[in-house]
Amino acid sequence: MNILAIETSCDETAAAVVEDGTKVRSSVVASSTKMFEKYGGIVPEVAAREQLKFILPVLTEALAQAHVDYQSIDKLAVTVGPGLIGSLLVGVETAKTIAYVENKPIIPVNHVLAHIYANFVDNAGQISFPSIALVVSGGHTELFLMESEKKLQWLGGTLDDAAGEAFDKTARLLGFGNRGGLAIQEAAAKITNSKTTFHIKLPRPMAKDETLNFSFSGLKTAIMREWNTHNERSDQLIYELSHEVQESITDVLVSKTVLAAQQYHVKSVLIAGGVAANTRLREKFAAHQTEFQIHFPPTSLCTDNAVYIASYAYFRGQPVDWRCVDASPGLPVEVQDSSLL
Ligand code: KG4
Ligand code: ZN
Asked if 255 and 207 count as a contact pair (C-beta separation under 8 A), the reply is: yes
Distance CA 194, CA 184 (A): 19
| Shortest-distance Cα residue to atom 7 of ligand 1 | 138
Is residue 322's pLDDT more than 80?
Answer: yes
- With a Cβ cut-off of 6 Å, ligand 1 is lined by 137-139, 164, 167-168, 180-182, 185, 273-275, 277-278, 303-304
CA of 238 to the centre of ligand 1 (A): 20
Q: What does the pLDDT average to over 256-269?
A: 98
Is residue 283's pLDDT more than 80?
Answer: yes
Distance CA 270, CA 283 (A): 14
How far, CA to CA in Å, does 274 sit from each of 95, 156, 173, 318, 321? 25, 19, 20, 26, 31
Residue 130: cis peptide before it, omega within 30 degrees of 0: yes
Q: What percent of the chain has pLDDT over 90?
A: 89
Indicate the pTM of the whole model.
0.96
Confidence at 339, pLDDT banded by 50, 70, 90: low
Spatial CA neighbour of 1 closest among 125, 105, 116: 105
30-34, 61-65, 170-174: which has the minimum mean pLDDT? Answer: 30-34
Distance CA 304, CA 164 (A): 13
| Shortest-distance Cα residue to atom 23 of ligand 1 | 181
How buried is 69 (Cβ within 10 angstroms: 0-12 exposed, 13-18 middle, 19+ buried)? exposed
Looking at residue 338, its pLDDT comes to 59
**Closest ligand by atom to 170 CA:** 1
Distance CA 216, CA 205 (A): 7
Report the C-alpha dihedral over residues 280, 284, 285, 291, rounded to 10 degrees.
170
Spatial CA neighbour of 107 closest among 20, 2, 1, 3: 3
How buried is 105 (Cβ within 10 angstroms: 0-12 exposed, 13-18 middle, 19+ buried)? middle
Please give the number of the atom of ligand 1 that sits closest to the Cα of 302.
1
CA of 114 to the centre of ligand 2 (A): 9
From 137, 140, 312, the mutation candidate for ligand 1 (largest count of ligand atoms within 8 A of CB) is 137
**Closest ligand by atom to 183 CA:** 1
Q: What does the pLDDT average to over 44-60?
A: 95
Distance CA 321, CA 341 (A): 14
**Closest ligand by atom to 186 CA:** 1
Is residue 162's pLDDT more than 70?
Answer: yes
Asked if 278 and 246 count as a contact pair (C-beta separation under 8 A), the reply is: yes
Looking at residue 192, its pLDDT comes to 78
Residues around the ion ligand 2 (C-beta < 5 A)? 137, 304
Distance CA 3, CA 307 (A): 9
Looking at residue 32, its pLDDT comes to 79
Instruction: Provide the pairing of β-strand 75-81 with 2-7.
Output: parallel
From 29, 79, 173, 182, the mutation candidate for ligand 1 (largest count of ligand atoms within 8 A of CB) is 182
Looking at residue 171, its pLDDT comes to 96
Is residue 341's pLDDT more than 70?
Answer: no
Confidence at 340, pLDDT banded by 50, 70, 90: low
Q: Chain-centre distance of CA 33, in angstroms?
A: 15
More confident residue, 194 or 171: 171
How buried is 63 (Cβ within 10 angstroms: 0-12 exposed, 13-18 middle, 19+ buried)? buried
Asked if 239 and 191 count as a contact pair (C-beta separation under 8 A), the reply is: yes
Q: What confidence tens digit (pLDDT) does each residue in 120-152 have?
A: 999 999 999 999 999 999 999 999 999 999 999
Q: What percent of the chain has pLDDT over 70?
A: 98
